[in-house]
């Protein structure tokens, strides 16, 4: 379906929307893992991506250290552990020194992807926002 723009040009509405929607979520296969890119952006503008891999009879979903690397890139890697622990409790995921993750049965994979993605985003957002507040206050 062609749509007219105020200046008289037209565009193929369906093609454009379908193309953008297809790009909202993507998956890459590499070395037994899958990396799923989601339509959520970290404070630095990069897409939130989770890593999915087999973990025995379960599936591990992790942020593969993306939130940590964002905090590291602004010199705030020391803030990661506390921020991640707080967010992990809220979203019922786990964290170690650099990674946010959860191991789940296959039938809960959808929820695990969502929880890890939002937790990873929230850790990066919380740390970056705290830095931004300090800079602007002082």
* 3 located within any domain: no
Name residues whose C-beta falls within 8 Å of residue 128's C-beta, 6 or more positions apart in sequence: 43, 44, 70, 71, 74, 76
Residue 124 lies inside a defined structural domain of this protein: yes
Within a domain: 128: yes
CATH number of the domain that residue 107 is part of: 3.30.1360
- Whole-number pLDDT of residue 136: 85
Residue 60 lies in a domain: yes
The reply to whether 116 falls in a domain is: yes
Residue 56 counted as domain residue: yes
Backbone angles phi, psi at 11, to 5 degrees: -145, 160
User: CA-CA distance, 97 to 69, in Å (whole number)?
Assistant: 11
- State pLDDT tens for residues 83-125: 999 999 999 999 999 999 999 999 999 999 999 999 999 999 9
The answer to whether residue 133 is domain-embedded is yes
Q: What is the mean pLDDT of residues 28-40?
A: 95
pTM for the complete prediction? 0.86
Cβ burial 76-85 (10 Å sphere, 16+ → b, else e): bbebbbebbe
18 occurs within a structural domain: no
Range of the domain at 105: 32-137
Angle, nearest 10°, between helix axes 66-73 and 109-137?
10
Specify the number of domains making up the chain.
1
Structure confidence at residue 56 as a pLDDT band (50, 70, 90): very high
């Amino acid at each position: 379906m062609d749509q007219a723009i105020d200046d008289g040009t037209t565009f193929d509405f369906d093609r454009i929307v379908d193309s953008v929607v297809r790009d909202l979520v993507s998956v890459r296969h590499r070395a037994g893992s899958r990396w799923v890119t989601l339509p959520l952006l970290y404070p630095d503008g990069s897409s939130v991506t989770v890593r999915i891999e087999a973990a025995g009879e379960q599936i591990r979903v992790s942020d593969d250290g993306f939130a940590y690397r964002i905090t590291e890139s602004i010199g705030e890697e020391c803030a990661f552990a506390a921020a991640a622990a707080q967010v992990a409790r809220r979203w019922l995921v786990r964290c170690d020194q650099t990674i946010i993750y959860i191991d789940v049965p296959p039938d809960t994979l959808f929820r695990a992807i969502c929880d890890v993605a939002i937790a990873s985003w929230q850790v990066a957002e919380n740390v970056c926002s705290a830095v931004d507040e300090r800079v602007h206050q002082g």
